[in-house]
Structure 1
Amino acid sequence: MIMQRKDAPGSGRYDVEGLVDELYTTPPSDFVSRREELAAEAKADGRVEDARLIHAARRPTLAAWAANLLLRSQPAESRRFLELGRALREAYRTLDADGIKQLSGQRSSIVSALSRQAAALAREAGHQLSDAAQQDLVSTLRAVLADQDAADRWAAGRLESALAPPADFPSGTAARASAARKPARAPTAPRSSRTGANDELAERRHQRQEQLAQARKTVTTADQRLRRQRAEQADADASLQQTRDRHAQARQQVTAAEEQLRKARGEFQGAEHEQHEAEERCRAAADAVTQAEQVAQEAAQEVERLTVPVR
């Protein structure tokens, strides 16, 4: 459950922006009920504007929620991903063919690793992403790399729906071809102007090299994490298979025990029926014995009476 947060102890002021941020990481199935609960609490406290802001929040799709969850749960990796996007867009803008080649080669693996990480976070929160939701999540992450507006929207942590990368975002091959078609340089400018332009170009190259270095570091970190996650997944798969094997074995034992119990119950019911019949026969025999004893006693009395001499 999302906890209400105050700006400072004892201030009595609620961090409504923080509440809305946390609301967008609430599972979509609980979003509306939690939103109405928070809005009602704010309204009851007299915070009408806060209640309006909370109530204006719209439930995100499953893919958008997973993207928000990734941003909030993994802030360091999210920052590196945003930095990679800035470096990649700058390389495209300046038609830096080498930079594009180096960054684009790792783009798919990083997007794939982060999308799997977001899906894992969603599973931990109780929601399995469908294939369609997974594709929307991948599309959103690609859009973050390709488009500044998409990056800003994701960085805000309040996505309501999936994002799509721009259709005109070039591939590495297209960008290198564009770089090869760059027009010839204009005639040499006066020395003072050329010196200023060279300084500016050197500064831009230096900044791009720094961005490229940071992007490479991001790639390395993402690859290492991907390898760790794959190893953890392999361990989890092995553990799951062992559990399934034990479950199947236990099910067989249960089935065998149930069959033995069924047979034992049948035998018990048969023995119980035979016992009842034997008890009936025993009672009948006892009654017959009693009657025979009575008849024998009466006969003995009659014999005794007849043996008395007649006077």
Structure 2
Amino acid sequence: MQRKGGRRRDTDGQEAEAVEQVLDELYATPPSAFVSRREERAAAARTAGRKEDARRVHAARRPTLAAWAANLLTRSQPEETRRFLELGQALREAHRTLDAAGLKELSAQRRRIVSALSRQAAQLAGEAGQRLSPAAQREVESTLRAVLADPEAADRWAEGRLEVSLTPPSAFPSGTAPAEPVRSEPAPRPRPKSRGTAAGTRAKDELAERRRTRQAELERAEQEAERAARHLRDARAEQADAQESLRRSDDELGRVREAVATAEERLRAAHEDLDRAERERREAEERGRTAADALAGAERDARASARRVDRLTGRGR
């Protein structure tokens, strides 16, 4: 029983590994061929009876061109990817500990590496037949900055299955090191603020809060718009695939109809040949009966003639 259960677990593990490999293959596929390849792999899983694998494969969403280029980068350059992720860890640690010197050095390194990797992603995409526009390349840079700033974004990028570009958090340092604290004499006790000053401070705080709220709403709206655009692209691609499938079906139907018409024509000709053969056979039978009657009459006439000859020659006495 244990051996049987072990085999089942091994089989499940192999199937799970197989579907992960299929997903990896899909997200390495250029976006223009993503939907057709996805449907092909999902159909293969359904045919093999792996319904859950087919569901997972069919649920995979086509990546944007910039997200695909970022995926291509992490898959094609594993060593550089590892170093980049390590740089992100060091940069986040420097930011947490407020290590001014380390943060300044790592931030400069970050700018150089982000620029270099984004150009490399554009080159890899071009070699795969997909040209990145300047906007798409900026999205790749945004994803790389997010990877450095956010450990969750780093994990997602390392998987190589991004569907959309990533946006770095606004709280991440822009590249300037925090100012070191300056020692000074104790400051004199602050004077009480006037009511006007306090009201002005509150107004500024409220304005800043409204700006932060609007910025957050804008980011959410942009994300929703990106998801909607991605779904629209997928729907259009699926429609194009369906139209292509319909065109192939129409072509095949035309060929089958032509073959049926040819077969029907041959069948009609065969029936005509059969009717002609049967008619000729009946005519031959009729000629045979006529010939048989003529033969019988000729035989009778011959016997009668023979008897007359015998009588005339006296042989019949």
TM-score by length of 2: 0.52
Q: 2:178 aligns with which of 159, 167, 176?
A: 176
Q: Deviations over 1:126-171 (max 9, x none)?
A: 1000111011011100111111111111111110000111111123
Q: Is 1:152 paired with 2:155?
A: yes
C-alpha separation in 2, matches of 1:169 and 1:181? 23
Identity %: 69
Contact 1:97 1:172 in 2 (8 A): no
Contact 1:60 1:161 in 2 (8 A): yes
Q: Is 1:71 paired with 2:74?
A: yes
Aligned residues: 175
Letter in 1 for 2:51: V
Partner secondary structure for residue 161 of structure 2: coil
Letter in 1 for 2:68: W
Aligned to 2:167: 164
Aligned to 1:26: 29
Contact 1:115 1:137 in 2 (8 A): yes
Q: 1:120 aligns with which of 120, 123, 131?
A: 123
C-alpha separation in 1, matches of 2:49 and 2:174? 54
- The gaps in structure 1 that reach 5 residues or longer are 1-7, 183-311
C-alpha separation in 1, matches of 2:137 and 2:116? 12
Sort the Cα spacing of 1:134 and 1:172 in 2 relative to 1 into closer, same or farther, 3 A.
Answer: closer
Sort the Cα spacing of 1:115 and 1:91 in 2 relative to 1 into closer, same or farther, 3 A.
Answer: same
- The gaps in structure 2 that reach 5 residues or longer are 1-9, 184-317
Offset, 1:12: 7.5
Aligned to 1:36: 39
Q: Deviations over 1:47-79 (max 9, x none)?
A: 111101101100000000000000111111101
Partner secondary structure for residue 66 of structure 2: helix
TM-score by length of 1: 0.53
C-alpha separation in 2, matches of 1:62 and 1:45? 31
Partner secondary structure for residue 176 of structure 1: coil
C-alpha separation in 2, matches of 1:107 and 1:47? 44
Report the aligned-residue RMSD.
2.5
C-alpha separation in 2, matches of 1:127 and 1:141? 19
Letter in 1 for 2:178: R
